[in-house]
Chain A
Amino acid sequence: DTGVSQDPRHKITKRGQNVTFRCDPISEHNRLYWYRQTLGQGPEFLTYFQNEAQLEKSRLLSDRFSAERPKGSFSTLEIQRTEQGDSAMYLCASSLGAGGFNEQFFGPGTRLTVL
């Protein structure tokens, strides 16, 4: 399968714990995006990378959130000191280049439940 993959698919954690999610984009895609989707809502932009550079972060991304893409390939999203409000589906997408002409391909998501 050459699509976008995410790991784990589901994560249940207790409030206050740290969690880390991984996203493997389609190879050769230089853009990688993270979104958060809560129940009944559309995905909301969190951050994106151009190769290894993080170019933009949403105000939704508090100081407890950090994302990396160290070699311009896979990316990780870490949430420290999780809160119940962090419960959501975290989606990763990748595209070949910037701009609206370049389709974003989405992974299956990681569903986080904070107890």
Chain B
Amino acid sequence: AQSVTQLGSHVSVSEGALVLLRCNYSSSVPPYLFWYVQYPNQGLQLLLKYTTGATLVKGINGFEAEFKKSETSFHLTKPSAHMSDAAEYFCAVFSDSWGKLQFGAGTQVVVTP
């Protein structure tokens, strides 16, 4: 079995401030980890993914995430928030034994001027 927990359903950040979105997962086998972004009335777009190798993963739009096996975490960060970062963000886990993506409940990011 596998599951994903995203801490905080809503996050408000000031433009230019650090964005930190938290994700913890459980998986009985080595997981593949993903962050997706969803803008209103649109589908999901992949921000970044961890499969194997380097634990610090860089994605699009200046986002990055670090896989920490000991903490079963995959937190998403961006050093400086832009207004265009306002969206909903989903963490997801995939394992070969499960065979499908399991998503967290999502975190809505609001960016204030």
Contacts and interface: CB of A to CB of B under 8 A. Distances in A.
Interface of A: 4, 33, 40-45, 48, 56, 91, 93, 98-101, 103-109, 111
Contact of A42 (B31, B49, B92): B92
A43 B44 contact: yes
A48 B100 contact: yes
Most buried by B among A4, A48, A99: A99
Size category of the B interface is 20 to 34
Given A44-B103, A100-B32, A106 B95 contact: no
Contacts of A43: 44, 90, 101, 103
A45 B90 contact: no
Interface in B57-113: 90, 92, 94-96, 99-106
Task: Kindly name the residue among A4, A44, A106 whose own CB sees the greatest number of chain B CB atoms within 10 A.
Answer: A106
Contact of A56 (B44, B45, B46, B100): B100
A103 B42 contact: no
